[in-house]
Amino acid sequence: MSTATPVREKTPAEVRTVSVDLRGKLDTGETLTGAPTVAEVTTTHLTLSNKIVNVAVVSINGQTVGIGLAVQFKVAGGTAGTVYTINIRCGTSAGQTVEENVVLNVI
């Protein structure tokens, strides 16, 4: 299980960077590699861009997350009062593929 926050919030006008800690999905010494796939599960209302594996240490939910252990992306748009599910998939240095869903509430 990852340490991703179950629900994130934004307004329709905001452009936010989302960082998802995937350490809980990785084996010891394993890192994320390649370009992650980030997509909405049921709609296409959001604009998802700048999808990367973190190239610098980041702080997520008060935790320091090392290089290659999180996926980051920008999210824009959405309709107020709508809850979106965003699916993240990424390859790893051990040849695995990890997957996580995050929830975004547009308020």
Per-residue pLDDT of the chain (107 residues; tens, 9 = 90+): 344 555 689 999 999 999 999 999 999 999 999 999 999 998 999 999 999 999 999 999 899 999 999 999 999 999 999 999 999 999 999 999 999 999 999 99
The alpha carbon of 19 is separated from its chain's Cα centroid by a whole number of angstroms, namely 5
What 3-state class would DSSP assign to 62? coil
| Residue ranges per structural domain of the chain | 7-106
pLDDT score at 7: 66
Task: Yes or no: say if 69 and 92 are a contact pair by the CB < 8 Å rule.
Answer: no
Question: Does the pTM exceed 0.75?
Answer: yes
* Cα gap 20→106, rounded to integer Å: 18
CATH match of 7-106 with 2.60.40: yes
Structure token pair of residue 107:
């308020």
* Cα gap 23→83, rounded to integer Å: 25
